[in-house]
Chains A and B, each alone.
Chain A
Amino acid sequence: MKRGALGRAALASVCTAWLVYGCGDAGEGEAQGEHTAAAHDHAAREGGDAPLADRSVYQLADPWVQANGEAFRLAQLRGHPVLVLLFYGTCEHACPILVHDLQRLDAALDPEQRVAVRYLLVSFDPERDTPERLAAYAREHGLDPPRWTLLHGDPDQIRALALVLGIRYRPTGDGGFSHTSRITLLDREGVVRAQIDGLERPQEPLLTPLRAMFAARDDAASP
């Protein structure tokens, strides 16, 4: 009954929900509702006109900072299949392998698919992974824009993204992070479609739904 009420009419308020979450100001009344509705419109314009799907990760509307120093909203990825990895730059073992896993997956795609796919790498470590450091990391690993996006955020923002992706992590006290080694496939609307955990895993669980997305679009495009 109440789930059924979560129709499109409710979606306009979803970003409002997130902005309440994402801002520490207390005591706003209706004025905040107007403010966040405007922010929602802005986000919607950036990512497309239709309201976000009710499970879209892009409801996390707070802006991040890209490696080039510019602001970035997740909704800017709308329209692209996206592979998401949470990582940190000083990670010596798991993260480089996971990045390599993404590159291996990319190599398995057809050239026209490769053009459309986006890779999103979000750092657990806002202190050390400054945008400048992320830019250097991208250069070292050949992660070129616009297909590869590396993001710096604040701790609350990182935790929220990790939680919607089901990723657990904590600082280990020696500058590292314990974390779930997970690659997530988002569809063109930012909805989680597949995940694999672990390093150097077979990639069919990601490649099969990813290829299916392209096949569905090809079908829709043909007469």
Chain B
Amino acid sequence: MALVLALAGRVAGEVLQEGEAPPGGMLRVAGGEYVPFYPVRGEGNVSVAPFDLDATPVTNAAFLEFARAHPAWRRSRASPLFVDAAYLSHWVGDLDLGDAARGNQPVTFVSYFAAVAYCRSAGKRLPTEAEWEWAALATPEGGESPSEVTQRILAFYARPRGDLAAVGTTPANRWGIHDLHGLIWEWVEDFNASFASADNRQDRDLELGRFCGGASVGAEDVKDYAAFMRFGFRASLEARYALHHLGFRCARSLQ
């Protein structure tokens, strides 16, 4: 069981599932421990408790229902403190997807704050970066080699994105989770935890060892370009941003 392929780190161990069955649309992800892509000083492996994760990203249709129930998160009303000007800009109106956005596509052009509000309204939360990366370490059913998987992810990252596919159309991983790779980028709860250095005395809060290029010494596997891209992308985000290929899914702690 522990010999899972490593994409953004190395699996160091797992704990078995527990608790009652996950609610509809969610799947249980067993807890475990992995070697993080960016090890934190003074900490060893990243430990993730078992949690539930949405099997697919949140769709336009689901977010439309949220906007219907929570007028303050409609496009015309959301505060500019919480969303930028691109928020839901692919929809025709506040409650109208129009022809360009289909209900079964992942919702994108959503800010972090909007994603958090959606998950809260469902009694859930965003997955942490550790949880997301842990779930995304799991290989697709059918057994590709790590290099094949990395190549597939990189091919996805490199492809110009036109029309988004419907959710659930990429292969499920061993937890049954779809679309962690191959469809969109996803918000994580602590995206703003990337790239700060401890109690720093410098002018800037950036830890240069984390960057790709000449100073990537902080990374666990410098050949894992896909992970570099994810961590770099997260570090570039601000919570108001609403971007074309950035969506989210929700998670839930086990009680």
**Interface residues, chain A, CB within 8 Å of chain B?**
2-3, 5-6, 10, 13-14, 16-18, 20-27, 29, 33, 54-57, 59, 91-95, 97, 159-160, 162-164, 166-170, 172-174, 176-181, 197-199, 201
Cα A23 to Cα B81 in complex, Å, equals 18
Cα A189 to Cα B238 in complex, Å, equals 22
Chain B at the A interface: SS class: loop
> Which residues does chain A contribute within 8 Å of B70, judged by CB atoms?
16-17, 20
Contact of A173 among B41, B79, B196, B201 (CB under 8 A): B41
Contact of A181 among B76, B113, B120, B205 (CB under 8 A): B205
Shortest A58–chain B CB gap in Å is 9
Contact A17:B85 (CB < 8 A) given known A24-B123, A169-B196, A176-B199: no
> Which residues does chain A contribute within 8 Å of B69, judged by CB atoms?
29
Residue contact B81 to A164, C-beta cutoff 8 Å: yes
- A162's nearest neighbour on chain B, judged by CB, is B192
Shortest A105–chain B CB gap in Å is 18
> Which residues does chain A contribute within 8 Å of B239, judged by CB atoms?
163-164
Cα A6 to Cα B76 in complex, Å, equals 6
Contact of B117 among A17, A173, A179, A198 (CB under 8 A): A17
Cα A55 to Cα B72 in complex, Å, equals 15
Contact of A198 among B71, B112, B123, B204 (CB under 8 A): B204
**Pair count A-B, CB < 8 A:** 145
- B123's nearest neighbour on chain A, judged by CB, is A26
> Which residues does chain A contribute within 8 Å of B71, judged by CB atoms?
13, 16, 33
> Which residues does chain B contribute within 8 Å of A178, judged by CB atoms?
196-200, 205, 207
> Which residues does chain B contribute within 8 Å of A26, judged by CB atoms?
120-123
Cα A90 to Cα B71 in complex, Å, equals 42
Residue contact A17 to B73, C-beta cutoff 8 Å: yes
Rank and list the top 7 A-B pairs by shortest CB-CB distance, nearest first. A170-B193, A17-B72, A173-B43, A178-B196, A26-B123, A163-B239, A13-B72
Q: Is B77 an interface residue (CB 8 A)?
A: yes
Residue contact B193 to A54, C-beta cutoff 8 Å: no
Q: Is B10 an interface residue (CB 8 A)?
A: no
Residue pairs across A and B with Cβ atoms less than 8 A apart, 21 shown, are A10-B77, A13-B77, A17-B82, A18-B82, A20-B117, A21-B113, A26-B120, A55-B79, A57-B81, A59-B81, A97-B201, A164-B239, A169-B192, A172-B199, A173-B42, A174-B43, A177-B198, A178-B196, A181-B200, A198-B203, A198-B204
> Which residues does chain B contribute within 8 Å of A54, judged by CB atoms?
79-81
Cα A164 to Cα B116 in complex, Å, equals 14
Residue contact B117 to A21, C-beta cutoff 8 Å: yes
> Which residues does chain B contribute within 8 Å of A93, judged by CB atoms?
199, 201
Cα A29 to Cα B202 in complex, Å, equals 49
